[in-house]
Structure 1
Amino acid sequence: MKTTLFIISMMFLSLIIAPKTTNAQTTISPGDLIKASEPAVYYYSQNGTRLVFPTEKTFFSWYSNFDSVKTITDSELAAIQLGGNVTYKPGSWLVKITTDPKVYAVSTNGTLRHITSEEIASALYGPDWNTKVHDIPDTFFINYTMGSPINDSTEFNVSEISTLANSIDTDKNSTPAEPELPAEPETPTTTTSLTLSLSKTTVHAGDSLTLTGTASDPSGVKNIRLYFDGNIVASCDYTAACVGDADVPTVTDKDSYEARITITNVLNQQFTNTTNVPVLTESASSNVTLRIDQPTVRDNQTTGITLEASDITVLDMKIFIDGSAKKLCSGGVFSCSYAQIYSGTIGTVFEVYGQVTDTKGKIYITPTKTITIAENDSPMVSIDGGKNMIYVNENFQVTVQASDMDGINYLEILDQNKNVLHHCDGAAPCTFVTGPWLQTGNFTLFGKAEDLLGLSAEQELNFSVTNPN
């Protein structure tokens, strides 16, 4: 997505304040769009600050063109301090954020009100309301506040709310600046701030992470650059925020990586801030397994997750859903279980993985699995061999069982390449003797079940084959 960033400031002085003359050719007054030698456009405001329009669509929710832009000198522009970001004009467009499907109407002073149904959206914005929805980048969502939801179309008057917002100052309830007095000019405040935040505070080899940099400067921010391990990952001009993604090498011998933000202001002064990102060592292991009772569920249905570890001296075990730790088990346990209700529209997917840390600090991460919301839930499958270790030349008997409210069509036992070893029709337990096993190593068998509606699910059984002592 191409996003053109505009820096726009506004100073809407009261009528008792005389217009400010910048030179013999240009006089700026309350409400004027202004610029200097650089292409960035600002709006002069009554509170003495420049308010940033973070996206092109935000700007055009208030203005239709740039015909009224006035040019002033760089030094005059630098004397005007930056304020905050401008939000969408109330009543102009519907908005949402990229990580949330909810659609919001924009009310006064950047207040977002969730429209709770398509019928309400259609009543307020017409049958083509879904063509009037703009995405707000997550970076700028902090400029808005949450209001009460709209549960009925009578609770929000689009025409009235738009008419009341006849200027940005009116929308933000800005207070006029004090009149200028014929006194010695003060030196502008030279406080520059820059912040670098990371989507992950620690990383593993092969990880990806997002860097978000924000900055403000009295003279204006000309450029923000973000670096990871000395390599530039993003460069943004004339904006208060910049976002970039970085990848950690899959093979690394480093204990940490440096993340850095560097800004250049309109006066071409540079400022830098850095932070270190520790690299965690981890291993994938067949001794750590994650099992989901039902990988496909209906809306508002509960399913369980079990994380198990064998032959590991466990310090703690964690279960993660969509990157957030939901369950911590500690104290020498070898199994950790968690269950919750899953809600969402058909097709919503939740990513699940487990993490086990041993007493030496070594971390084991399971492969990521998913829980999907669908019209029909998958069968609940179990596969059991009675033990997780056998000897060379020994047979290994496994049993698959399953249950489902729609009934079970068949059960199957699969090898680690998903080839069918044994097929059983119906819902009765399915048992099969594998082997003899002639090679040492770690192996996996799968139990599969299909319900009468055609939806299937699998569970895995990991075991090892070793030589007798």
Structure 2
Amino acid sequence: MKHILLSTALAFSLILPPFVSQAATVQTGDLIRGSLSSVYYIGADGARYVFPTEKIYFTWYTDFSSVKTVTNAELASYPIGGNVTYRPGVRMVKIMTDPRVYAVDAGGTLRWVETEEMATSLYGSDWNTKIDDISDAYFTNYTLGSSITTPSEFDVSAITTNITSISSDKGLVVPGIPEPSPTPTPEPVVASGTLTASKTSATVNASIDLFASATLNSGLSQIRVLWNGILEKTCTSSPCNVSVTIPSSPDVSTAVAEFSWTNGATASATKGVTLDTSGQSGVRIVVTRPEIRSGGILEITSEVDQNIATKYLEIYLDENLIRSCTDLRICQYADTDSSPTGTIHEVYAIARDILGNTYQSASQEVRVVDNPHPYTTIALGKTLIYSGETIDATVQASDDDGIASTQIWFNNSLVKECLSSICTANVGPITTPGFYAIVGKAKDLTGLETVVTSESFLVQ
């Protein structure tokens, strides 16, 4: 979408006319100033609100004739309530780091105007002269709403007319003494329990940590943890954790936690762990980017277990040897791939020990596409926290088309969305013990999305 970029004021310090009206009292909705030239709006909540830029001020007022002068002491008696946002419907806005243009709805809600045709329908043929740039520092004053797909979803005139003041736009009300709330009757805690595992899939002989936790500790008699029908551990308190080993069969091993209380109540929880056969050979292959453009860099890493006396570790692309490492347990390859769009490569690794035995990894695909999905990673600040604590998570993404947004999700709920390639959030507090994972999402400017899941972390 083409548009004219308008300069953004770095600070809003008004040059007021020499004659300013005086007032003995200040009321809700007044504009006030002290000995300096900064102007504030008095909200219905008794706080003063800041105009970040002149452009925002002039969407609400035509001049400064109604500004009242008060003493600095009186000015300081009004706490800062926040920043004033654009009056809904008057101007469209954008930020330098995001090509999207937004209409401003009530409450500082930004709604993406998806096409030039939509912008013309809403703001006329000169719509591109009605766009202001917002500093990244002030973008957090706004919230993102749904995009505008039809003109009926955003009546510019009606929206502006309906919002008669800054207080009404922000939903400010006169502070008062709230009626005392009745003391809620606590819901009885249901006797139940949870069972989590450190991994949902693992290779044969790998160790898995099981973590059983009762929701009701009072009167708890015991917790029994069974693995494939065999009792592994009995605990008389919660939580109850035990380490087990993945067998070569069945394909899905089953863990069961049985809870019982002194009042006769019982509960159970089940968790399945899938046998991962891809790493049984002891050789693994990792492709950094499973989708690349023609002419992009193909990065491959192979790794072999310690119990294999490796002499040669080789990487193959479409059955052709492309890299060989001697006396190393990790072998890496990186080079430009000029294959045409639509090519699907097969990548695998072979380890050869000092006796001539060979061990081959599972195969992975690499696709050459016009538009790869964003390359996305998620990292956690810790792998162990205690009940009631929080955990830091960072999602980072890159894409040739640019990143539109990154998100952090926990328990199927959005924790944070960032309109940048990096997003960090403090997740929690988490009170229920067990193993958890955090999900990261990234979307590029063409709309393609990648979803990644963090390593497991334990809440104890």
TM-score by shorter chain over 0.5: no
Sort the TM-score into its range (normalised by shorter chain).
0.3 to 0.5
Give TM-score scaled by structure 1 length: 0.38
